[in-house]
Structure 1
Amino acid sequence: MKVRLKELGTIFTGNTPSKKVDEYWSNRNIKFIKPDVIKDELCVISSANEYISASAKNVSRIVPANSILVTCIGKIGRVGITEEEVSFNQQINAIVPNEAIIPKYLAYAIYANRKQLKAIANAPVVPIINKTQFSDFKISICESVEKQNKIVRTLDVISEIITHDKKKIEALDELIKARFVEMFDDNFGEIVELGNVCDVRDGTHDSPKYHNAGYPLVTSKNICDGKIDFSTCNLIQKEDYVKINKRSKVDVGDVLMPMIGTVGNPIIVNTDKEFAIKNVALIKFKDDSVILNTFIKTLLESDYFGRAVLSKTKGGTQKFISLGDIRKLEFNLPPIELQHRFATFVAQIDKSKFAVQKSLEKTQLLFDSLMQEYFG
């Protein structure tokens, strides 16, 4: 049956105690939850970046353990479950579930409807869902508490498998970084600037008109999880595609790196699909290059790059790094033979990652289909 969220518990919108009152923030008595600690995946909220004092309790929104927090400003639809009493800010709505519904089941039900939540956000610049909209939002639920518990147990098992596979991939990525440091941290070789050994440029800064059909325009937000997500790209006409690619044509083997918003996270292009880029760094290599794309990608993922370039990110809400800073990145140029040895090691690790990724995709597909069956 379909019910409004307000029928399933008491709903609160968070607030922020005055920062001008020092005693409200002087002790770490109660976690103060902001959207940055609620992950894209459904999560148990076990940490916080800020805390309020017990003296701020009377001027704060406080909810008990097993409450459901949902982000409703900016990044809409992130869902977390509290494991203890917490306070939370005005970008979050909370539900304290009643006896008609299991808290974890309610969390899964809201998480399954996050796309629908995003659809009702009513602001063109910063998406927002107010308390009334949130309270009246309808979801499909099963009335039987016993059935709710069974569904939660099934989804929890699959979620654990997904988490396990993601941690495997993260561990393999860390292994590559560790091997990189082991092989190249002796600082031998000539000091060079990236712009002198590679062709470093970026995509268009213009805003071409979008269409229902055409060529994908890849921006920073379309590069995630180590690949280009073409399904989220806006499409442009051939005239704009040709114009952009006169100076920024992307070829297989090039390195792309987001420069605006979520900066960093480079990828090596492994598709010959036709597309153009906007506000994305493009690093190209010659056939007789003294540098390999595998070395450069890992360098751009390293702590050294974070200190040398990412620490210089500019902007407030929208972070960005300049093309000049990327071009001026200095590093020791190792022998090409050593780079090839490293590339061989990475290729072996990538085979293991591919197998885990395939397993992850199958499990994720199962999870998504069950979510549709239970809550669609």
Structure 2
Amino acid sequence: MAKLGEICAFQSGGTPSKNKPEYFGGEIPWISTTALNGGKINEADAVAWITPKAIRESAAKIVPANSIMIGTRVGIGKVAINTVEMSTSQDVISLINIDEDKWYKPYLCKLLLSKKDYFNSQARGATIKGIKIDVVANIDVPEIDYTTQRKVAATLNKIDTLIFLRKQQLAKLDELVKARFVEMFGDISNSRKVPMQDVCKIITDGTHQPPKFVLSGIPFLFVSNIVTNEIHYDAEKFISEETYNELIKRTPIEVGDVLLSTVGSYGHPAVVKENKPFCFQRHIAYLKPNNSVVNSEYLRCAILSTDLQRQIDESVKGIAQKTLNLSEIRKLRLPLPSLSLQNQFAAFVERIDQQKQTVQQSLEKLELMKKALMQEYFG
């Protein structure tokens, strides 16, 4: 077993002063951690172009082609191999002088990617956390023959490709739902619209006072638990059954109700699809649809429509932290087609959700397989 610091040298990067225009507009591609994609990068990935003068007079340096780059701040653990000479910010460390007869660089990239959780655990800093070169240098590198290194990298690449394809499938299925919504309801966007308060029995939000949390129990959800049409119950905070019974009086959650994020990443709706107890913070709005006039799935997709999202963007308040207030939610106006048409759309969404579930299960199996192989190959 070798240490990474024993098989390469490390070169730090730097950012030329923005106050010196003569440092920019040159022919040297310069990148930050945003360019590190896990594979290969070139001049097309540059976020700026700098001059030889910037190299001579600032901390920026030329990184030789075919070096391994790793993010050490603002993107810790991201990696890439540059196929052309370039320069990097101080948030990127480049691994150079690697013996290419002994070490297969894509294999070393996979090794570094497998240590991302470890790198994050070692990050230090008050405002922006980062890792030191020593943390990277002390990584153990299994000393296996070059042919085996290539096989390991190829196997992991195949799994990464399959994972990417599964994620693409999920995205395309979501797009199919959006297209179906426009196909069925797009022509009624200029028809009579009703305010949100007319189609919901309750419009309120979660608890305003932080409850007493316990080590385990009923999940207490935050905005991060709400994504488009998905509620993640893997909470970090829990409440007791007694607290739950008190809070649920205000938000009597049932299957078919809609949650809507209102702060930060505002405007994301999700339908409650599982009959399980939970409560949530005040930055999540609670909408109980009147099922005699509106279908939950129609309501969710209506909120995601271009028209409703425009209304939401125009309604949010605040500068540092934009917030969608309950009063504004109640005033949002949406078309209200016949309930039978809404139900047809909901049936279509249900069929798509079944397909998504199959793809999601395949994705999860692939991610578990990748994790197991990473552990087997790299420990």
| TM-score (ref. length: structure 2) | 0.83
Q: What do residues 208-262 of structure 1 show as CA deviations (whole Å, max 9, x unaligned)?
A: 4543222211112233585333335322334543444332343222222333444
CA deviation after TM superposition for structure 1 residue 95, in Å: 3.2
Aligned: 1:159 with 2:160: yes
Letter in structure 2 aligned against 1:231: D
Distance change >3 Å, CA 171–CA 52, structure 1 → 2:
same
Mapping 1:274-285, distance limit 5 Å: 274-278=277-281, 279-285=283-289
Kindly tell me: are residues 108 and 286 of structure 1, through their superposed partners in 2, closer, same or farther at Cα, counting changes over 3 Å? same
- 3-state SS in 1 of match to 2:234: helix
Contact 1:74 1:126 survives alignment (8 Å): no
Q: Give the SS at the match of 1:247.
A: coil
Does residue 20 of structure 2 align to residue 16 of structure 1? Answer: no
* Matched AA of 2:165: H
Report 1:95-174 matches (<5 A).
Answer: 95-96=95-96, 98-99=98-99, 100-123=102-125, 126=127, 128-174=129-175
Distance 1:52 1:329, change over 3 A: farther
Query: Shift of residue 49 of structure 1?
Result: 7.8
Partner of 2:204: 201
Structure 1 letter corresponding to 2:289:
F
Matched residue SS, 1:331: strand
Q: Secondary structure at the match of 2:120?
A: helix
Between the aligned partners of 1:74 and 1:313, the Cα distance in structure 2 is 29
Deviations 1:285-307 (CA, angstroms, capped at 9, x unpaired): 1332x222111222333333443
Aligned residues: percent identity?
A: 32
**Which segments of 5 or more consecutive residues in structure 2 lack a partner in the other structure?**
none
Aligned pairs (5 A) from 1:286-297: 286-288=290-292, 290-297=293-300
* Corresponding residue of 1:72: 72
Residue identity opposite 1:145 in structure 2:
Y
Return the letter of the residue paired with 1:11.
Answer: F
| Greater gyration radius | 2
Aligned partner letter, 2:73 = I
Aligned-partner residue type, residue 129 of structure 2: I
Q: Deviations over 1:120-176 (max 9, x none)?
A: 2234x6461232453344244343222111100111111111111111111111111
How many angstroms apart in 2 are the aligned matches of 1:26 and 1:366?
A: 45
Residues in 2 aligned to 1:260 and 1:247: alpha-carbon distance in whole angstroms: 20
Q: C-alpha separation between the residues in 2 aligned to 1:133 and 1:86?
A: 24
1:314–1:321 CA contact under 8 A, matched in 2 = no
> Which letter maps to 1:162?
I
1:1-376 to structure 2, matched below 5 A, reads 1=1, 3=3, 5-26=4-25, 30-35=29-34, 38=36, 42-45=38-41, 48=45, 50-55=47-52, 56-58=54-56, 59=58, 60-74=60-74, 76-96=76-96, 98-99=98-99, 100-123=102-125, 126=127, 128-186=129-187, 187-198=189-200, 199-224=202-227, 226-278=229-281, 279-288=283-292, 290-310=293-313, 312=316, 315-316=319-320, 321-376=324-379
1:50 Cα deviation from its structure 2 partner: 3.0
1:33–1:86 Cα contact (<8 Å) kept: no
- Contact 2:311–2:332 (CA<8 Å) still a contact in 1? yes
Kindly state the Cα deviation for residue 178 of structure 1 after the two structures are TM-superposed.
1.3
Instruction: Indicate the SS of the match to 2:253.
Output: coil
Deviates more, 1:318-327 or 1:104-113: 318-327
Structure 1 contact 109–141 (Cα < 8 Å) conserved: no
Local SS of the residue matching 2:344? helix
Distance of aligned partners of 1:31 and 1:234 in 2 relative to their CA distance in 1, 3 Å threshold: same
Work out the CA distance in 1 between the residues paired with 2:273 and 2:209: 26
Relative to structure 1, the CA distance from residue 283 to residue 131 in structure 2 (aligned partners, 3 Å threshold; closer, same or farther) is same
Q: 1:250 and 1:154, CA in 2 relative to 1: closer, same or farther beyond 3 A?
A: same
Deviation per CA, 1:152-211, whole angstroms, max 9, x where unpaired? Answer: 011111111111111111111111111212222222432223244223332234334543
Report the alpha carbon displacement of residue 319 of structure 1 after superposing the two structures with TM.
6.1
CA shift in 2, pair 1:303/1:13, >3 Å: farther
**Structure 1 residues 16, 181: closer, same or farther in 2, change over 3 A?**
farther
CA contact under 8 A between 2:13 and 2:87: conserved in structure 1? yes
Question: Per-residue displacement from partner, 1:84-108 (whole Å, max 9, x unpaired)?
Answer: 4444434444434612532221221
Change (3 A) 1:263 1:113: farther
**Which structure 1 segments of 5+ residues have no match?**
none
SS in 1 for 2:250: helix
Mapped contact 2:74–2:128 kept (Cα < 8 A) = yes
Report SS of the residue matched to 2:214. coil
